[in-house]
Structure 1
Amino acid sequence: MATPLHLEASRAIPVEVEAAFDRLLPHPLTDLMSRRYGLLPPIREVRDQVGPWGEVGQTRTIVLTDGGTMHEELIEVVRPDHFSYRLTQITGALAPLVDEVAGRWSFAPAGTGVRVTWSWALHPRTPYAARLLAPVGRMWRGYARQSLEEISDVLVAGAVTPE
């Protein structure tokens, strides 16, 4: 079996750790990953989700704007430290290259706020596909940067209390 490609991106955000965790976990993915980066499309919709996202064992289908889909399962929730998920049944552009993605969102104190870290481990479909993942990794880093910007905006806006 080929070695997974590990990717990670993070951003410091001026909100409390617990608030960041509690707001991000259930927040709609379409708000957080709404822009294309290279060949990586934004999320168009989420299907088959029952209730607010946040319980271990929950599943849903992520639909991308290019028609690709991924089955997501929430596999671990440790408030306020991290939550982890697995993406399988991948269709679309990544399908020939990626069998499964192990994802994780981590939250750690950083100054007066939180450092939010998003990581992916892409499990290649074949040893040959593993050799083709480096460009996907470069695109993912740009996609992650954009998503972390959107997440920062959502979390900071949610921290503002009306007078």
Structure 2
Amino acid sequence: MSKAMENHLANHLTVAVTHEAFVPGRIDDVFDFVAAEDVLPKILTGYGLVPAVAFTSDISGPWDQPGSHRVVHLADGSTVDEGVTHYDRAAYFAYRVSNPSFALKHLMTGATGQFWFEATEGGTRVRWTYTFHAKNRLTRLPLTLFVKSQWNGYMDVCLRNIIKHFAS
């Protein structure tokens, strides 16, 4: 199969969602908070069917280094692996999610998250894109429904928690 055909098929198996927010903090501070090793329980507090993050474990290296990974433990006892893929302080942070132990394991092969940060007057514009990779064409539809009904709200709660951290 040609590379162009592989890319075409891969694009038809992704479900991506992007959210943006203005955070009332300096770009360096906002980036450092969002990309911090210990931030997940503070900002991923759950929404609907998506449980909160309880804690992380098995961190392999400095969290500002691509290649570092950890296990994310959710409040319902499930886990997912997460690894840093890009870290450009105060501009861009990206990670890969794999091996979910919960129901999404039947729908997806993994996911990627990307954060972009832009200094603006009075704060920082944060853009977060989360891309799920469906197992196949049949799982793309239920994965899309999950993203629209649950993951969108999860991302909104997360961004509101980031804003609240800097507004206080």
Using the size of structure 2 for normalisation, the TM-score is 0.85
Residue 31 of structure 1 pairs with residue 42 of structure 2: yes
Task: Work out the CA distance in 2 between the residues paired with 1:50 and 1:71.
Answer: 11
Once the 2 structures are TM-superposed, how far is the Cα of residue 91 of structure 1 from its aligned partner?
1.5
Distance verdict in 2 for CA 1:51–1:154, change over 3 Å: farther
Residue 65 of structure 1 pairs with residue 75 of structure 2: yes
Once the 2 structures are TM-superposed, how far is the Cα of residue 140 of structure 1 from its aligned partner?
0.9
What is the correspondence of 1:9-28 to structure 2 with a 5 Å cutoff? Answer: 9-26=19-36, 27-28=38-39
Give unpaired runs (5+ residues) of structure 2.
Answer: 1-8
2:161 maps to 150
Q: Displaced runs of 4+ in structure 1, greater than 3 A?
A: none
1:82 pairs with one of 87, 92, 95: 92
- Sequence identity, in percent? 25
Q: Secondary structure at the match of 2:139?
A: helix
Residue 97 of structure 1 pairs with residue 114 of structure 2: no
Once the 2 structures are TM-superposed, how far is the Cα of residue 129 of structure 1 from its aligned partner?
0.6
Give unpaired runs (5+ residues) of structure 1.
Answer: 158-163
Paired AA for residue 56 in structure 2? V
Task: Work out the CA distance in 2 between the residues paired with 1:145 and 1:60.
Answer: 24
Once the 2 structures are TM-superposed, how far is the Cα of residue 146 of structure 1 from its aligned partner?
0.6
1:107 maps to 117
Q: Per-residue CA shift, 1:10-46, capped at 9, x if unaligned?
A: 2101111122112221142111112x31211111111
Task: Work out the CA distance in 2 between the residues paired with 1:131 and 1:40.
Answer: 18
Aligned length, in residue pairs:
156
Task: Work out the CA distance in 1 between the residues paired with 2:30 and 2:94.
Answer: 15
Task: Work out the CA distance in 1 between the residues paired with 2:145 and 2:121.
Answer: 34
Task: Work out the CA distance in 1 between the residues paired with 2:120 and 2:78.
Answer: 36
1:140 pairs with one of 147, 151, 160: 151
Once the 2 structures are TM-superposed, how far is the Cα of residue 155 of structure 1 from its aligned partner?
3.2
- In terms of fraction of residues, the more helix-rich structure is 2
Task: Work out the CA distance in 2 between the residues paired with 1:153 and 1:52.
Answer: 27
